[in-house]
Amino acid sequence: MPADSHDLAISRVAGAIAEPARTKMLCSLMDGHARTSTELGVIADVSASTASAHLARLRADGLIRLHTQGRHRYYSLADAQVARALEALMVISPNAGAGFVPTTPGRLQFARTCYDHMAGTLAVQLHDYFIASGWLTAAATGRGLYELTASGESALGELGLDLQTAKSQRRRFACSCMDWSMRRPHLAGALGSAFLQMALRRKWLVQDLDSRALAVTPKGRKALADQFGLHPEKHDDALSTAQGRAVHAIHGAF
């Protein structure tokens, strides 16, 4: 693609995201759920006709995907790359500076979905544990990619992750994703998705139906303490002031 065409493509996508109503729609889809145009219109606080126009723009620019089921039409993010791009924009938002006073609930900061993987304080802690334990190492190619070591494959396999399916997917297997509430990476890619699905399947976590928040169950607290030495009950309801200042201002659509 010629340089000028590339620049125009970036400008168009940036323009699609920049409109506040469309931003709210996109952020609401970061929990991995599909929603109707009516639901997205309510989230964005716009009329049905305006919502349809916004969705048409987002779809034309490849940011969302349409799913038709009978007479129903649902919209979701196009893929994990869109979610990572939105998360990255949250990180560099001026409103997330040190002087920002957060209004986002602490439980959302502690654990939430980032499209199909886990984000928040807990996700960063798990990422750090995987690295410190030698389960993941930086890939030789760099670019935020990780390789799963033999010990990591054994340990995560014992936890019940379907590693073969994760490896067979046509996407990055394991990579870092900068967390907007912690300003440090959490685990994304097929492996990050597999870990979240395992945690939900084993009832370590439960997901809100109308937000990105994840709640740790009593069973999950025990498992996280036993398996990883993490104690989420110390963080669920009261996060430190230093962490709280890093929370992003755009919270209405989460």
Domain at 49, CATH number: 1.10.10.10
> Which of 49, 78, 107 is the C-terminal boundary of a domain?
78
State which residues form the domain around 64. 3-78
The Cα–Cα gap between 229 and 220 comes to 12
Question: So what's the pLDDT on residue 81?
Answer: 82
Query: Do 70 and 155 fall within a single domain?
Result: no
The SS3 call for residue 222 is helix
> Which of 19, 47, 78 is the C-terminal boundary of a domain?
78
Question: So what's the pLDDT on residue 128?
Answer: 95
pLDDT digits 0-9 by tens, 31-49: 777 889 999 999 899 999 9
> What is the b/e burial string over 2-22, where b = at least 16 CB atoms within 10 angstroms of the residue's CB?
eeeeeeeeeeebeebbeeebb
> Which of 78, 98, 120 is the C-terminal boundary of a domain?
78
Query: Do 59 and 165 fall within a single domain?
Result: no
Q: Which residue's entry shows tokens 């912690």? A: 182
What percent of the chain has pLDDT above 70?
82
In a domain, 164, yes or no: yes
Q: Is the pLDDT of residue 249 over 50?
A: no
Contact 127, 185 (CB under 8 A): yes
List 66's β-bridge partners, or say none: 75
Query: Do 47 and 168 fall within a single domain?
Result: no
Q: Identify the band that residue 248 occupies on the pLDDT scale cut at 50, 70 and 90.
A: very low
The Cα–Cα gap between 120 and 124 comes to 6
Q: Which amino acid is at 233?
A: E
Query: Do 121 and 234 fall within a single domain?
Result: yes
Question: So what's the pLDDT on residue 107?
Answer: 64
Query: Do 59 and 106 fall within a single domain?
Result: no
Query: Do 175 and 197 fall within a single domain?
Result: yes
Tokens of 183: 């300003």
**Confidence (pTM):** 0.68
Query: Do 109 and 206 fall within a single domain?
Result: yes
Contacts of 42 (CB under 8 A, 6+ apart): none
pLDDT digits 0-9 by tens, 127-184: 999 999 999 999 887 778 999 999 999 999 999 999 999 999 988 899 998 887 787 8
Contact 201, 186 (CB under 8 A): no
List 148's β-bridge partners, or say none: 136
Q: Is the pLDDT of residue 86 over 90?
A: no
Distance of CA 111 to the CA centre of its chain: 10
Query: Do 46 and 146 fall within a single domain?
Result: no
Using CB atoms within 10 Å of the CB of residue 216, give its burial: 0 to 12 exposed, 13 to 18 middle, 19+ buried. Answer: buried
Q: Identify the band that residue 6 occupies on the pLDDT scale cut at 50, 70 and 90.
A: low
Tokens of 35: 């929603």
Query: Do 150 and 212 fall within a single domain?
Result: yes
Query: Do 97 and 69 fall within a single domain?
Result: no
User: What radius of gyration do the chain's Cα atoms show?
Assistant: 19
Query: Do 7 and 107 fall within a single domain?
Result: no
Question: So what's the pLDDT on residue 234?
Answer: 52
The Cα–Cα gap between 146 and 144 comes to 7
In a domain, 137, yes or no: yes
Distances, alpha carbon 225 to alpha carbons 72, 159, 207, 230, 234, in Å: 43, 14, 20, 5, 11
Domain count, the chain: 2
In a domain, 240, yes or no: yes
In a domain, 128, yes or no: yes
